[in-house]
Amino acid sequence: MNRYQLIQAALLSTDEEVRLNGLQSLYRYDGEERMDLVCAALGDSSWRIRKEAINLFLALPGAIVSAERIVALLYDEENAGLRNAAAEILIKLGPSVLPVLTRAAGTPDHDVRKFILDIMGDIGDRQATPLLLHLLQNDGEINVRAAAAENLGKIGDASAVPEMVSALSVPDLLVQFSLLDALGRIGCAIPVDGLVGLGENRLLRKPLFDALGRIGDETAVVPLVAGLHDPMRNVREAAILGLQRLLSRCGDKILAGQLDANALEGVVSLLASPSLPVKKAALAILGRYCDPARAVLLATYLDDDHLADDVAAILAARGHDVVAGLTVCWAGASDRKKAYLAYLFGKVGVTHAVNLLVEELKGADDFLRTILLRALGQVGRTEEIALLAGYLEVPEDDVRQAAVDGLVNIAERFHAPVIDLVRNAFAHAEPAVRQAALQVLGRLGGVASETVLLLAMKDESALVRRSAIYYLDGRNPPHLPALTLALTDEESDVRRQAVEALAMSAERSLLEPLSLMLQDEDPWVRATAIRALGRIGGVEALAVIRRGLLDPVGLVTIAVLETLMEESLPFDPREMLGHLDHADEDVVLALLKLLATASDPHWLEECGEALLAHPCCLIRQRVAELLGQSGTVRGQTLLQQRLQLEEEELVVDALRQGLASCAAAGERS
């Protein structure tokens, strides 16, 4: 048996793996019969075989020339897998196959015509618009006309809108339905008068309201509001969704005087809908008409997992006068609801709610306590400052952090008393309390705070020293001596924090002390120093950064490579190639990312074969992608060779896609 017969026999095997291997061997076979074998495999019973055949066809030279053969496969009524595979190929061939499809659309087979229109829609190119409009208006098969309308919507060509609107006058329910959906997809504003009459057919009301929400103007408000009272729930839901979309596009002014009490009751009833988007739309519209009484109604949904955030945002937007009345909802409310109410009271400044918040602190759990403390920071009086400061001493981190936030907020109104109390807290025996006090002082700033921060640089606790460094501005020259001294701290986290602070200044005088940090015992400190040197820049800094390539820890090497990219520092690709055998896979991936930016791509052809055999599949996958992007003959050869050996599915896909890219590049050239 010759080679063709062997492949043909393999493709006829009952063993799926044998058929797959036979099909893959066609990558290396260039006989005239190859296309016949690929087309036959497109109808295989196995989706794996069909997928492989699709990829193989697209990777073959002259795939466009063979498009008519693929169109012919659409006529097979017995093999749905074959038809779908043919459609996928034609879609992936893209706009270049449209002339072939246009000719084929003249077939008397209405099923094939519909297939062709669906393929054109998925390609999405406006060149198909004239044919789709012609078939919309003239085809004798209703399913084809509906498909033409649907796919005009997919393409989104605004120039087709006038003829599509004109076609709505034909009393054909399926086509009208498809046209309304398509017009909504395209999104061009059109006169509403010509559409509203379609609502007389109850089956068209839902798509009509969907379309009005997307393409209507202010005149669409009246039919949409009327739709809120429709006897069919799905129509009422479409009306509220359309109304909300219309408001989002045209603004609230179009609703002026349109929603009376009866209409608002219709909106309220939709809060019981099983559809979450419908509930959210109803809430948004009610929020625009939210007086204190309706706010109490909306507040009942603060216990709803899906709606609470929306309700809170709506109520907060209504401001103090509306939210202030919600204090009547406090008694008997769940902890969840109290948390939202406390947030709202703080957000809009409901000062008369302070006593409720203070009283609730006594028995609240940790989560509710954090909300209460932050709210008290926003609405509290001077007597609440000591209360907030007392919570700096609690052991729970979240509660202590909430006290910090509360003190920072209340300091906007009572700055001096807060500073005095917090400075006293810095004398506390517990490091966590001193650290919390530093957070407050650091966020408030000022000379008094700065004095404490500099003092804290000598604190016995590394936690406190780190916090002090965080709040000292490295761009402030008076701070540089203290931050530079911190580079010798016994704790590596403190040293790293100091490096990060100094990096903010980018002072060239810091080049020497930061260079010394490349000898630090901690790799995280060394990596941070590399990035800081990148901020400084210049020839001397670059020389120090390059030394980091020899660091034994991959973390530091990656910092070098990423710094070269992020700071746009020059590099020699030849120098980088020597590190592609690094034991750390992440280093190699970072190198590939850097080398991909090089103007000379020859490094890839030189190292591609070895990298395609790398034990890390992610590296092989990335190299396959880069070779495909290069589009070179050598790259195509390397991809074909590796495809015969590769077993990892992700890499196999990357190799095939790379081959397809190379083939496409060859056709363009």
**Cα–Cα distance measured from residue 146 to residue 114, given in angstroms and rounded to the nearest whole number:** 9
521, exposed or middle or buried, with CB in 10 Å at 0-12, 13-18, 19+? exposed
**pLDDT bracket for residue 408 (50, 70, 90):** very high
- 302 and 311 Cβ atoms separated by less than 8 Å: yes
pLDDT score at 144: 95
Average confidence (pLDDT) over 116-136: 95
Tell me, what's the pLDDT at 275? 93
Check whether 506 has a pLDDT greater than 80: no
Write down the pLDDT at residue 279.
93
| Nearest alpha carbon to residue 197 among 232, 168, 167 | 168
Sign of CA dihedral 347, 348, 351, 352: negative
Average pLDDT over residues 143-153: 95
C-alpha Rg value of the chain to the nearest Å:
35
Q: Which pLDDT does position 1 carry in this prediction?
A: 61
Side-chain half-sphere exposure of 466, counting CA atoms within 13 A: 14
For residues 221 and 254, the answer to whether their CB atoms sit within 8 Å is yes
Q: Look over the chain and give the mean of its residue pLDDT values, rounded to a whole number.
A: 89
Look up residue 601 and give its DSSP letter. T
CA angle centred on 486, ends 484 and 488, rounded to 5°: 100
Q: How confident is the model at residue 664 (pLDDT cuts 50, 70, 90)?
A: confident
Q: What percent of the chain has pLDDT over 90?
A: 50
Cβ 519 vs Cβ 487: under 8 Å: no
Q: How many other CB atoms sit within 10 Å of the CB of residue 501?
A: 25
Structure-model confidence comparison of residues 446 and 197, the more confident one: 446
The lowest-confidence range among 30-39, 219-228, 444-453, 586-595 is: 30-39
Contact, 633 vs 624, CB < 8 A? no
What's the rounded mean pLDDT across residues 636-653? 88
371-376 mean pLDDT = 97
What does the pLDDT read at residue 577?
83
Structure-model confidence comparison of residues 236 and 426, the more confident one: 236
More reliable by pLDDT, 284 or 474: 284
Q: Span 575-601, mean pLDDT?
A: 85
Residue 410 reports pLDDT greater than 70 = yes
Which pLDDT does position 564 carry in this prediction? 87
Distance CA 380, CA 620 (A): 61
The CATH class for the domain spanning 205-289 reads: mainly alpha
Residues written for the chain: 669
pLDDT for 546-585, tens place per residue?
Answer: 889 888 899 999 998 988 888 888 887 778 888 888 888 9
In this prediction, residues 74-97 reach a mean pLDDT of: 92
Q: What are phi and psi of 476, to 5 degrees?
A: -95, 110
Res 16 pLDDT > 70: yes
Query: How many secondary structure helices (H) and strands (E) does the chain include?
Result: 42, 0
